[in-house]
A and B are shown apart, each in its own frame.
Chain A
Amino acid sequence: MRATKSICLNMVGEALSRLIFQLILVFGIAFMIAGFCFTYLAPGEEVKMLKDLGLTVVAIFGLLLAIYLAVSTIGPEVERRTIYCLMAKPVKRHWFYLGKFLGSMAILAISCLIMGLVLVFALYLKEQAWNWALLGAVSLTYIALVVVNALVMAISTFASPMLATVAGFTFWGLGYTQSYVHQLATHADNPTSRVMLEIMGVLIPDLQRFDLREAVVDLIHVPPSYVYLVTAYGLAYLVVMLAIGIIAFNQKQM
């Protein structure tokens, strides 16, 4: 655990010092602040717009960050040979992998929290009321981002950063169209197509379940049981991705 903690903290320190991380965060916040420009809408619509835009910005910039962190975790360590010194120390491969993953989780958490708080504060300025439900929606987006991060990290243990990045965006896109995939599977005439679509439905999580934008914008009550269930659903995928990543990394020739 000591090694995992050291690797995790080092990764957080390194990411925070990187310009690209700061840029992603600054641009994300800038986009939210730009939402203030929509003053020509009716007052109620304006707030809805801000919430929708804010949560979309958290998801998009979070996704960019999740993929960037995942592809810059294993590959650059091997290319720069920093991993050689580390592996010569009493560090098991899975401790290293877990440390890097936890580091990514922490950085994503920091980013989502900062963007979420900016959004809550921006809405406070409009509504004169603290809307903490937004942070709940950001939390579920965070779980989706962590799942994508785990998948891209697993792929980047054996594939190039470019391939892993493409896989990440594809996974995200397919994850958001899972409801259509399920519909297609139900209506497919060809049994092979149906089986293929069903397998795809199982392999790729339904990321729309993590998206609470509609509920937040239209003030629909979300029962806590739904949040727990979706969290468990995300964690199940996370565990599988992590296990695949660790197995692949243990086999890696460096």
Chain B
Amino acid sequence: MAVVEIEELTKVYRPFLGGVGVLALDKLSLTIEQGQTFGLVGPNGSGKTTTIKLLLGLLYPNRGKCRLFGRKVFDMQVKDRIGFMPEAPYFYDHLTGEQLLNYYASFFKMSKTQRRERVDELLSMVGMQERRKMLLRHYSRGMLQRIGLAQAMINDPELLILDEPTSGLDPIGSYQIRNLILELKHLHKTIILSSHLLGEVEHLCDQVGLLHRGKLLACGTLGELLPEAKQAHICVQVSEAAQHELEAMGFQGERVDGLLQLAAVPVDQIGPVVDLVRKSGGELYEIHRQRQSLEDFFVQTVRQKEVASE
């Protein structure tokens, strides 16, 4: 079932007093199925945040339409089923973490007991139980990010929209947030993740959409976008004699800490190499079939587009 359906969505920012507008989104069409983790990537100004704002009903499109769960984005029944975490969230700093979650919970049909239980559950989930009575103005960036994720999940949403969830966090903070997202993924939540951190997107997402200057340049699963390489990297522990035999087969290796590293072994030659290692009494440490990284794909695609537009 499609959770997000976007058709020919176009957004132009026009100045208040008229003049030339800025095309932020140009006929964007995409569909996100239930349970998918969709990565929205693109350089600054590519239209990621505009797409999210249109999905949340914060902006009105000039053309095209977007639907969530088959309904218009302004429908209150849709809002009951979604959660949103903005980039670098800022919240009402006169509230404590617990009060903030209670405040956001008050917009949903929950009894006081349900609300209390949900707030407790979320504070534990994001590791903020001990800071629940602390005013938000005293929270660090990482704590705000975690409470931001908690507020996005207050209604146990089916669709989570996360805008740069780990931006500005230290490595441990990023790791914790990534793990939380993975937990949500395992709970079969549909997630839209907008991020500059391509490694993070590659690690967390099943599908990726690459936006550039408001246009969708590429969209698909990581397997579709980043086909596996036809070569592999093999790491073995073999005798000198076996190494010579491998060289005779045409595989030049390099010894690192006693292990022989064979780079660029054609996929159809993996079998014979493994057989030789076994016969010689050697040990196989690693076979890694490399593929292009999302970062390489991103840079390559954006550059191609820029060259074409010049």
Could you list which residues of chain A lie within 8 angstroms of chain B, going by C-beta atoms? 2-3, 6, 10, 13-14, 17-18, 80-92, 158, 251, 253-254
Q: Give the residue name and chain of the A residue nearest to B57 (CB).
A: A87
Q: Is the CB of B90 within 8 A of A81?
A: yes
- A18 contacts across to B, CB distance below 8 A: 94
Q: Is the CB of A17 within 8 A of B94?
A: yes
Q: Does B4 contact A (CB under 8 A)?
A: no
Q: Is the CB of B90 within 8 A of A90?
A: no
For this complex, 29 residue pairs linking A to B, each with C-beta atoms less than 8 Å apart, are: A2-B106, A2-B107, A6-B103, A10-B92, A10-B95, A10-B103, A13-B94, A14-B94, A18-B94, A81-B86, A82-B90, A83-B58, A84-B58, A84-B84, A85-B85, A85-B151, A86-B107, A87-B57, A88-B56, A88-B79, A88-B152, A89-B108, A89-B155, A90-B79, A90-B107, A90-B108, A92-B76, A158-B16, A253-B59
- Nearest-neighbour CB distance to chain B for A79, whole angstroms, equals 9
3 tightest A-B CB contacts, nearest first: A88-B84, A17-B94, A90-B79
- Nearest-neighbour CB distance to chain B for A8, whole angstroms, equals 11
Q: Give the residue name and chain of the A residue nearest to B161 (CB).
A: A88
C-alpha gap A251/B85 in the complex (Å): 23
- A158 contacts across to B, CB distance below 8 A: 16
- A83 contacts across to B, CB distance below 8 A: 58
Q: Does B80 contact A (CB under 8 A)?
A: yes
Q: Does B104 contact A (CB under 8 A)?
A: yes
Q: Give the residue name and chain of the A residue nearest to B154 (CB).
A: A89
Residues of chain B in range 56-104 having any CB-CB distance to chain A below 8 Å: 56-60, 76, 79-80, 82-86, 89-92, 94-95, 103-104
C-alpha gap A158/B59 in the complex (Å): 14
Q: Is the CB of B58 within 8 A of A87?
A: yes
Q: Does B53 contact A (CB under 8 A)?
A: yes
Q: Is the CB of A253 within 8 A of B56?
A: no
Residues of chain B in range 82-135 having any CB-CB distance to chain A below 8 Å: 82-86, 89-92, 94-95, 103-104, 106-108
- Nearest-neighbour CB distance to chain A for B142, whole angstroms, equals 18
- Nearest-neighbour CB distance to chain B for A250, whole angstroms, equals 10
- Nearest-neighbour CB distance to chain A for B245, whole angstroms, equals 63
